[in-house]
Structure 1
Amino acid sequence: MQLLFIADPLEDFKIAKDTSFAMMREAACRGHQLSACEPQDVMWQRGARVTAHVRDLTLTGRTPEWFRETGRRAVALADFDAVLMRKDPPFDSEYFYATHLLEQAEREGARVFNRARALRDHPEKLAILEWPELIPETLVTRSAADVRAFHAAHRDIILKPLDGMGGMGIFRVGPDGLNLGSIIETLNRGGAQSLMVQRYLPEITQGDKRVLLIAGEPVPYALARIPQGSEIRGNLAAGGKGVAQALSARDLEIARTIGPELHRRGLLLVGLDIIGDCMTEINVTSPTCFQEITAQTGFDVAACFIDALEAAVSQPKQT
């Protein structure tokens, strides 16, 4: 297969843990051809197809120069066997516009994973609202008064922006309400921006579990990202410690409740965030943790994903 990865700059990859790199390495081992570009390299004009200015790659097996560029060319996305959208959040206006270009490419015959409309329809914080029985007490609002009422009811809360990633902008406010007003002002920008508020889950001390779904099926191991020291965030980007563990019965219940439906909608790869018995996020843009799970358990997540990708490409195109 000829694969196009739409991602952040290759030079910024931290290949010791990068999931997109793990996908590339497994694909290359199977003889698939690799190309890459950034979202700004994708364009369309009337009379032509959606096209990307891509870099063709071979992997070197070395660091730090882990790839060699073998050429640059302009190629219609539909000419690739699969296009993998792996741009990291935030889901901002440019990401939104990129999904429209990718959807046009799909109309022209491109196979995009995850599908463009599914990316657009499942913002990572808000997608959980569809399954209220699986999530903690949650509020989405612009209103400071609503947040204060939620805090009064639950006493210990987490506040976070809807467009953050890696734990950025997450605050905890306890029963004393210390700095609640300032935090609301920071996150809602005077009522101009929505935020999410959730009941604090003390099980976070045991880890914020990343449960991966591939083609609707759960990977048998999660990565519990455990906060360190006085930190409340388990995100690896915020210094959390990643510990792989077998899925619990509740993890499996959540995964099997929503996994098949998400796959039906065109989401080949999903990362659920689960704290204790509650799902807190559904990550669809560029789910991670492949390498950490594989290194600690021996379960080859990248091989499982490329198996699923190959199977998906062999099937008739969804409409």
Structure 2
Amino acid sequence: MDKSLRQLFIIDPIQQLNPSKDSSIAIMQATQRIGKQNWVCTQADIATQGDQTMVCAHPITMEWIEPSRKDWQISYPWYRIAETRIVPITDFSVVWMRKDPPVDESYLYTTHLLEFGERNGVRVINKPSSLRTWNEKLGALRFSSLMAPTLVASRIETLETFSNNYDDVVLKPLGGRAGQGVVRSSSSSPGFLALLELVTQQQQIPVMAQAFLPTVSAGDKRILLIDGEPLGAINRKPKKGEFRSNLAVGGFPEVTELTSRESGICIELSSVLKSEGLALVGIDVIDGYLSEINVTSPTGIREIERLTNIAFADQAVKKLLVN
């Protein structure tokens, strides 16, 4: 088969993915619709001997999956997978690095192995070196003027001093995902210092502290940028009694449009993201303040497609692979 037609997706085990939620599945559907042959593998299936990277991968075919008003109509089984083959990574024109966080040792080593293929002409989305350097919390600090007041520190005294300036603060683990481990508290709360001891692992690990924005109750926007251009967004509202709006912790999506300030944030980020090979990015914005820049496996495509009836994945793939 023509190499230009082959696409490799590095994902979590396919049987663990939810076709009605997973953005990687949406992208695979879209690449299949333009005649690409999709293959899948996990991080463990990648090896390099000398400077030659090989993958143990499966060709995969997506079955019928369509949005409905309330959910998705899915044909089961929703994929067909062929026998495993061991092939050079250079047999693929594009590799999509879509492994979900955490960005642990295994993830970082995978980005190194992918660079061997990249040096031999394989395009990797997103660029491996940028995946290593863009922590999804810390990366946003490059645009700190767009953010709510933010501090990253390990020292309890430093975190406490910062927290004294605000009614409430949000504490975020730098390696967290999907809202996991994010807590809201205040310096006047009983046990606050003990909480700081816990989240910093006795002042050994830095955490991000941000001034809490009460307007998060109105939603947290996930904006998807494709090659630096915002192509779609959803507003995620927290469930009752919760301040986190992440879909994984019970937030629910709704249709939204970008404000002029949010469009301005996208414009300010665009050239930097493009120059660093971050072609598929999801940014989070609360009340006009940049919160995070998600580069590993940003989600939200399925929700945009269902709520707007717009074939977002097809638009994204066309922009990345065809234009």
Q: 99-108 or 126-135, which moves further after superposition?
A: 99-108
Q: Does structure 2 conserve the Cα–Cα contact (< 8 Å) formed by 1:154 and 1:199?
A: yes
Letter in 2 for 1:194: P
Residue 250 of structure 1 aligns with an amino acid whose one-letter code is R
Q: Of 258, 279, 288, which residue of structure 1 is paired with 2:299?
A: 288
Cα distance in structure 2, aligned partners of 1:178 and 1:210: 33
Q: Are positions 1:36 and 2:37 aligned together?
A: no
Counterparts of 1:17 and 1:78, CA distance in 2: 30
Partner of residue 56 from structure 1, selected from 54, 59, 76? 59
Distance in 2 between residues matched to 1:63 and 1:189, nearest whole Å:
46
Aligned mate of 1:249, from 237, 245, 260: 260
Q: Does 1:45 align with 2:56?
A: no
1:131-142 to 2 correspondences below 5 Å: 131-142=143-154
Displacement of 1:63: 4.0
- The 5-angstrom pairing of residues 273-312 of structure 1 reads 273-311=284-322
In the alignment, the residues of structure 2 paired with residue 43 and residue 90 of structure 1 have an alpha-carbon distance, to the nearest angstrom, of: 20
- 1:196 aligned counterpart, secondary structure: strand
Aligned to 1:6: 10
Q: CA deviation at 1:132?
A: 1.3
What SS does structure 2 have at the residue aligned with 1:177? coil
1:152 maps to 2:164: yes
Q: Can you list the C-alpha shifts for 1:61-106, whole angstroms capped at 9, x where unaligned?
A: 2544211111211111121010000001111121111111111221
Deviation of residue 304 (structure 1)? Answer: 1.3
Aligned pairs for 1:126-275 (under 5 A) are 126-174=138-186, 176-219=188-231, 221-275=232-286
2:71 is aligned to: none
Cα deviation, residue 175, structure 1: 5.7
TM-score (norm: length of structure 1): 0.94
Post-superposition shift, 1:248?
A: 1.0
Give the C-alpha shift of residue 171 in structure 1.
0.5
1:171, 1:183 within 8 Å by CA — same for their partners in 2?
no
Q: CA deviation at 1:182?
A: 2.8
Q: Distance in 2 between matches of 1:122 and 1:63?
A: 37
Q: Is the 8 A contact 1:244 1:292 kept in 2?
A: no
**What does the per-residue CA deviation read over 1:24-71, in whole Å, with 9 as the maximum and x for residues that have no partner?**
11111221101000011111112x511111011112325442111112
Aligned length: 310
Q: Which residue of 88, 103, 108 maps to 1:96?
A: 108
- Unpaired segments ≥5 residues, structure 1: 313-319
Equivalent pair of 1:207/1:275 in contact (CA under 8 Å): yes
Distance 1:229 1:235 in 2: 13
Alpha-carbon distance, 1:301 to partner: 1.2
**Alpha-carbon distance in 2 for matches of 1:194, 1:12:** 32
Q: Is the 8 A contact 1:173 1:179 kept in 2?
A: no
Q: CA deviation at 1:155?
A: 2.8
The secondary structure found in structure 2 opposite 1:299 is coil
Cα distance in 2, alignment partners of residues 227 and 22 from structure 1: 24
Query: What do the CA deviations read for 1:225-274 (whole angstroms, capped 9, x no partner)?
Result: 11111111000000001112011111100001111220121011110000
1:67 and 2:70 matched: no
Letter in 1 for 2:274: H
Q: For 1:232 and 1:135, how far apart are their aligned partners in 2?
A: 18
CA distance in 1, matches of 2:187, 2:82: 59
CA–CA separation in structure 1 for the residues paired with 2:285 and 2:256: 13
> CA shift at 1:176, angstroms?
2.8
The alpha carbon displacement at 1:124 in A equals 0.3
The two structures have a TM-score, normalised by structure 2, of 0.93
CA contact (8 A) 2:167 2:186 kept: yes
